[in-house]
Amino acid sequence: MRRLTALCIVALMTIAAHGAHAADAPTQKVVVYFQEWSAAFDAAALGAIAKAADYAKSHPGTPIHVAGFADPTGSKQANILMSELRAQVVVDQLVTDGVPARSIGQVGHGSVQFALTSQESRRVEISVSAR
């Protein structure tokens, strides 16, 4: 019985330690917005990307996920291409800002609906997270 209790305690301590480590993992999400049918940066976009790059460089080894989106205007294929282009230009800027390309994953999601304005849909989300 003591052996079983000791094994249970060790298992719980391992689970707790792993859970605490996962909870302590650094995370940050930055959103970059674009004008209609554009993948060009404005000053705010460059600042947001620089912020994400600085965070990523201060947490080396943490994966970066870049997800591009488009608004529902236009064809499905055009919106997929636009979302992929937006994701790619953000990845390129992250690399220019010193983030290793091997740590960045990217995807273009195509068009998504918006709640208030179509600008919400024309975005790229940069997530620096262990998850």
What's the mean pLDDT in 73-79?
95
Whole-angstrom distance, CA of residue 86 vs CA of residue 66: 9
Distance of CA 118 to the CA centre of its chain: 21
- Whether 115 maps to a domain, the answer reads yes
Give the Cα separation of 114 and 53 in Å (integer).
27
Q: Could you give the CA distance from residue 130 to residue 17 in angstroms, rounded to a whole number?
A: 16
Whole domain around residue 51: which residue ranges?
A: 26-129
- What's the CATH code of the domain at 91? 3.30.1330.60
pLDDT digits (tens, 9 = 90+) for 56-68: 999 998 999 999 9
pLDDT digits (tens, 9 = 90+) for 38-62: 999 999 999 999 999 999 999 998 9
| Inside any domain, residue 5 | no
Residue 17 placed within a domain: no
What single-letter DSSP state applies at residue 39? -
Alpha carbon separation from 73 to 103, 111, 113 (Å, rounded): 32, 8, 10
Beta strands in 64-103, from DSSP E residues, in sequence order: 64-70
Query: 11-24: per-residue pLDDT in tens?
Result: 333 333 344 344 45
Q: What is the mean pLDDT of the segment spanning 100-126?
A: 93
